[in-house]
């Protein structure tokens, strides 16, 4: 696993191991998976064979969908809802190794099945959820408003990062709903339905996404305009901070982790490769031959290849390293953090490379109260986004949020 202890839980293949050990196991406590289903599915997969991976996770998801259909037909709403939710999550896990351009038809088909299972689960919630859609530059930002039992509860808007969709956001939303928060989840540019169904790539100016969302949500009579918070995880931590720097109707922001930027990460890699400072001054206009070592580095590791050339290229809508470097140039918080005016919680997980910039983020938030919380391997929360102990993150994050929105 990236940035974690040596050894393997399931596979020797590093991509399959990371996806199984973190992406799958990390959703168990929130109803997205069961350990037995993970173990059984992984046991049927040929190590490193992506077709086998896709086939077996889809088979598990299809079996669960069938059982959920039977429960729903019998009027067993809770049983059906829980099975649909796990099925939706498993379809998403099945798709991960297929990321890339051109988009694999199997991914599109499984995504449609994931969406259907997720929406069946949403339809069976105790309190009716409401879908919404916001127009953005000729595209549509889809989302769901999830009410809690406390009609006067504050609103938490959740935002994803690179490779997750609304199913994963809903798994995070359950913790907020239990604590009396209304929750809004959505797929933004480069995410979920906007990427798969509309082909819309990521954009750095996330305030252009959040502002029209808030415009729509604040029209609701059950939303208190003075008690709205934004929480982002993975790349969403960076995007949430960028949005908060321009959207001053937010009362609080949580960045998990405090990721300063993708641009800075690429510059750091080029510096390690001893690229001349005179060339770096022209970033992102770097000659293609200078970027060859970056491509070689990506190709040297199956996991790095997936991160950069499959997930990264697809999400940013590019086809080469040079195009990718130019696409990520605006993904930086330089010059933005001083404009954050809401209370802000920044997190850092001990073994997560993306957390290395959290202290810098904290230092540059000068216009608002900001705190940094470190999560450690000793408490089982040292992985990226505390993925193997989200309960610990949720305890800290929601206790902090309660003190600000529900004193």
Q: Residue 69 and residue 51: Cα distance in Å, rounded?
A: 26
Predicted local distance difference test score (pLDDT) of residue 23 = 86
Is the domain of 285 the same as that of 188?
no
In 3D space, the residue among 135, 187, 179, 133 whose CA is nearest the CA of residue 159 turns out to be 187
Tokens representing 242 are: 């960028």
Same domain, 46 and 187: no
Residue 7: what pLDDT? 52
Q: What is the pLDDT of residue 278?
A: 87
Confidence of residue 299 (pLDDT cuts 50, 70, 90): very high
Tokens representing 354 are: 């993306």
For the chain, the farthest-separated pair of C-alpha atoms sits apart, in whole angstroms, at 69
How would residue 261 be classed by pLDDT, with cut points 50, 70 and 90?
Answer: very high
Q: Are 232 and 252 in contact (CB under 8 A)?
A: no
In terms of Cα–Cα distance, which of 377, 383, 379, 384 is closest to 395? Answer: 379
Question: Mean pLDDT across the stretch 298-313?
Answer: 95
374: domain CATH number? 3.40.50.1820
Claim to verify: residue 293 and residue 274 sit in the same structural domain: yes
Same domain, 340 and 369: yes
Per-residue pLDDT reduced to its tens digit, 80-114: 999 999 999 999 999 999 999 999 999 999 999 99
**Residue 60 belongs to what H/E stretch?**
helix 50-73
Closest CA to 57 of 41, 39, 40: 41
Structural domain including 178 reads: 129-261+331-407
Contacts of residue 49, Cβ cutoff 8 Å, sequence gap at least 6 = none
Q: Are residues 194 and 256 in the same domain?
A: yes
Cα 192 to Cα 119: distance, rounded to the nearest angstrom:
14
- 96 and 143, same domain (yes or no): no
User: How does the average pLDDT of the chain come out, rounded?
Assistant: 95
CA distance 109 to 197: 11
**Pair 30, 120 in one domain:** yes
Whole-angstrom distance, CA of residue 95 vs CA of residue 54: 6
Q: Model confidence over 46-74: pLDDT tens digits?
A: 999 999 999 999 999 999 999 999 999 99
Can you point out the beta strands (E) in 111-241? 130-136, 139-146, 155-159, 182-186, 228-233
Pair 221, 363 in one domain: yes
Residue ending a domain, choose from 91, 124, 157 = 124
Considering 327, 344, 370, which residue would you say is the last residue of a domain? 327
If you search the block for the tokens 């937010």, which residue do you land on? 250
* Predicted local distance difference test score (pLDDT) of residue 1: 32
For the chain, the 3-state helix, strand and coil shares in percent, each to the nearest 5, are 55, 15, 35
233/240 Cα distance (integer angstroms)? 8
Q: Does residue 379 register a pLDDT over 80?
A: yes
Q: Which two structure tokens, joined as six digits, stand for 336?
A: 């933005």
Res. 5 pLDDT band, cuts 50 70 90: very low
Considering 85, 106, 124, which residue would you say is the last residue of a domain?
Answer: 124
Q: Are residues 317 and 191 in the same domain?
A: no
Catalytic, 301? Answer no
pLDDT digits (tens, 9 = 90+) for 329-354: 999 999 999 999 999 999 999 999 99
Cα 265 from Cα 116, distance rounded (Å): 37
DSSP-derived 3-state class of residue 205? coil
Task: Judge if 46 and 108 occupy the same domain.
Answer: yes
Q: Out of 172, 234, 245, 357, which one is annotated catalytic?
A: 234
Q: Specify burial of residue 317 (Cβ count, 10 A radius: 0-12, 13-18, 19+).
A: middle
pLDDT exceeds 50 at position 388: yes
Token reading at 266? 């690429």
Same domain, 136 and 247: yes
Provide the token pair at 384: 């990226």
CATH of the domain at 26: 1.20.1440.110
The structural domain count of the chain equals: 3
Query: Does pLDDT of 4 surpass 50?
Result: no
Q: What is the pTM for the complete model shown?
A: 0.95
Average pLDDT of the segment spanning 75-79: 98
Do 145 and 225 share a structural domain? Answer: yes
């Amino acid at each position: 696993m990236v940035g974690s202890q040596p050894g393997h839980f399931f596979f020797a293949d590093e991509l399959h191991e990371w996806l199984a050990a973190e992406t799958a196991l990390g959703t168990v406590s929130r109803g997205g998976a069961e350990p037995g289903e993970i173990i059984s599915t992984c046991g049927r997969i040929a190590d490193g064979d992506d077709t086998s991976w896709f086939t077996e996770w889809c088979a598990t998801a299809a079996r669960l969908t069938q059982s959920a259909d039977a429960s729903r037909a019998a009027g067993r709403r809770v049983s059906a809802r829980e099975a649909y939710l796990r099925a939706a999550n498993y379809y998403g896990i099945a798709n991960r190794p297929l990321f890339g351009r051109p988009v694999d038809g199997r991914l599109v088909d499984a995504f449609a099945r994931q969406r259907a299972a997720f929406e069946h689960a949403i339809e069976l919630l105790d309190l009716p959820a409401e879908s919404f859609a916001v127009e953005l530059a000729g595209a549509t930002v889809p989302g769901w408003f999830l009410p809690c039992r406390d009609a006067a509860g504050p609103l938490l808007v959740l935002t994803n990062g690179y490779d997750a969709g609304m199913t994963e956001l809903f798994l995070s939303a359950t913790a907020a709903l239990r604590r009396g928060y209304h929750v809004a989840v959505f797929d933004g540019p480069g995410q979920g339905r906007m990427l798969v169904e509309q082909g819309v790539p990521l954009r750095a100016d996330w305030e252009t996404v959040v502002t029209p969302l808030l415009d729509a949500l604040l029209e609701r009579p059950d939303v208190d305009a003075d008690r709205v918070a934004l929480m982002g995880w993975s790349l969403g931590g960076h995007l949430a901070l960028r949005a908060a720097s321009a959207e001053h109707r937010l009362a609080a922001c949580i960045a998990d982790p405090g990721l300063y930027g993708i641009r800075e990460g690429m510059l750091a890699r080029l510096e390690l490769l001893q690229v001349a400072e005179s060339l770096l001054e022209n970033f992102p206009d770097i000659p293609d031959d200078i970027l060859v070592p970056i491509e070689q580095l990506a190709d040297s590791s199956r996991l790095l290849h997936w991160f950069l050339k499959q997930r990264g290229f697809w999400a940013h809508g590019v086809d080469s390293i040079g195009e990718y470097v130019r696409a990520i140039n605006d993904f930086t918080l330089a010059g933005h953090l001083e404009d954050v005016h809401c209370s802000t919680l920044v997190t850092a997980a001990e073994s997560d490379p993306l957390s290395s910039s959290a202290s810098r983020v904290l230092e540059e938030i000068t216009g608002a109260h900001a705190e940094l919380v470190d999560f450690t391997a000793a408490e089982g929360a040292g992985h990226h986004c505390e993925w193997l102990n989200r309960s610990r993150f949720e305890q800290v994050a929601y206790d902090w949020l309660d003190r600000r929105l529900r004193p």
